[in-house]
């Protein structure tokens, strides 16, 4: 069990109209832990990520980040969002800004850094994700894998306490998936706390401390990767694994 909790969800429930999309979610993620979330389409994985940085509200339950309950709104909420970075399937880069500007922008606007200082940090991060040669390019001049690595650098630029990834490689061609997963593996080795929604079972096996399997808005299993993949307990997980492992 996590000894030093960074993200704590307790008894979280959420509806979209009649649809009970998150049901009694209890999830504790320790500092430095990597949790991979898998499950069938519509099981609530994206909603779970979005509630953790308050892109969505919840109806009941509590979400605590580093000992602080999530604020409802206002400045405190903006600050919190900056503390939990999010990387989406679609990279959401600004098309009319260069790579460097994309990584520096929120540092200047939200973190109030001077441009020089922000740009210097951006260059360090672009180096870390293997893109120092591309700082002056526009997103359209990069491959999908490169754009996603820019998005990761941009999230890191805010010095987040945790990073949430929602299917970060799903929009990528196969040959680009690995370069993004490799950056994520390195972050995991560096001790970043991460929640990763992904279908990349190799990543789950090699980088995750735990696998959380969701179905119908519930956490059905929460286990060490090897245990989960070799010996899933629930019928839902067995069924899901047999489908994805056949691909």
Ligand X SMILES: Nc1ncnc2c1ncn2[C@@H]1O[C@H](COP(=O)(O)OP(=O)(O)OP(=O)(O)O)[C@@H](O)[C@H]1O
Q: Which of 43, 104, 146, 147 forms a contact with ligand X (CB under 6 A)?
A: 43
Beta bridge partners of 211: 36, 223
Question: In Å, how far are 87, 116, 148 from 91, measured between CA atoms?
Answer: 7, 25, 6
Between residues 46 and 102, which has the closer beta carbon with respect to Mg ion?
A: 46
CA 122 – CA 101 distance, rounded (Å)? 9
Between residues 45 and 210, which has the closer beta carbon with respect to ligand X?
A: 45
CA 39 – CA 230 distance, rounded (Å)? 16
Between residues 131 and 197, which has the closer beta carbon with respect to Mg ion?
A: 197
Whether the CB-CB separation of 223 and 27 falls below 8 Å is answered with no
Question: In Å, how far are 20, 27, 79, 96, 121 from 35, measured between CA atoms?
Answer: 23, 10, 23, 34, 27
Whole-number minimum distance, CB 145 to ligand X, in Å?
20
Whole-number minimum distance, CB 214 to ligand X, in Å?
7
Selection from ligand X, Mg ion, none that 19 binds (CB < 5 to 8 A by kind) is: ligand X
Between residues 47 and 147, which has the closer beta carbon with respect to ligand X?
A: 47
Q: Which of 34, 45, 150, 180 forms a contact with ligand X (CB under 6 A)?
A: 45
Q: Which of 4, 11, 15, 16 forms a contact with ligand X (CB under 6 A)?
A: 16
What is the 3-state secondary structure of 15-57?
Answer: EECCEEEEEEEEEEEECCCEEEEECCCCCCHHHHHHHHCCCCC
Whole-number minimum distance, CB 44 to Mg ion, in Å?
8
Q: Which of 18, 41, 72, 230 forms a contact with ligand X (CB under 6 A)?
A: 41
Between residues 46 and 198, which has the closer beta carbon with respect to Mg ion?
A: 46
* Interface residues toward ligand X, by CB under 6 A: 16, 19, 21, 39, 41-47
């Amino acid at each position: 069990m996590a000894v030093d909790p960074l993200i704590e969800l307790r008894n979280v429930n959420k509806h979209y109209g009649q649809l009970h999309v998150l049901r009694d979610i209890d999830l504790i993620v320790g500092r430095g832990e990597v949790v991979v979330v898998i499950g069938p389409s519509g099981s609530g994985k994206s909603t779970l990520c979005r509630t953790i940085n308050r892109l969505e509200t919840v109806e009941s339950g509590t979400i605590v980040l580093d000992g602080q309950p999530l604020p409802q709104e206002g400045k405190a909420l903006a600050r919190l969002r900056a503390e939990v970075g999010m990387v989406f399937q679609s990279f959401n880069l600004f098309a009319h800004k260069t790579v460097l500007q994309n990584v520096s922008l929120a540092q200047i606007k939200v973190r109030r850094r001077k441009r020089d200082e922000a740009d210097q940090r951006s260059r360090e991060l672009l180096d870390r994700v293997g893109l120092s040669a591309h700082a002056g390019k526009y997103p359209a001049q990069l491959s999908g894998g490169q754009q996603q690595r820019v998005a990761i650098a941009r999230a890191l630029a805010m010095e987040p306490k945790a990073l949430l990834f929602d299917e970060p490689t799903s929009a990528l061609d196969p040959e680009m998936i690995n370069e993004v997963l490799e950056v994520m593996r390195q972050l995991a080795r560096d001790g970043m706390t991460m929640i990763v929604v992904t279908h990349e079972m190799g990543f789950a096996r090699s980088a995750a401390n735990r696998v959380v399997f969701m179905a119908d808005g519930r956490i059905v299993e929460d286990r060490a990767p090897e245990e989960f993949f070799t010996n899933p307990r629930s019928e839902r997980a067995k069924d899901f694994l047999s489908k994805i492992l056949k691909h």
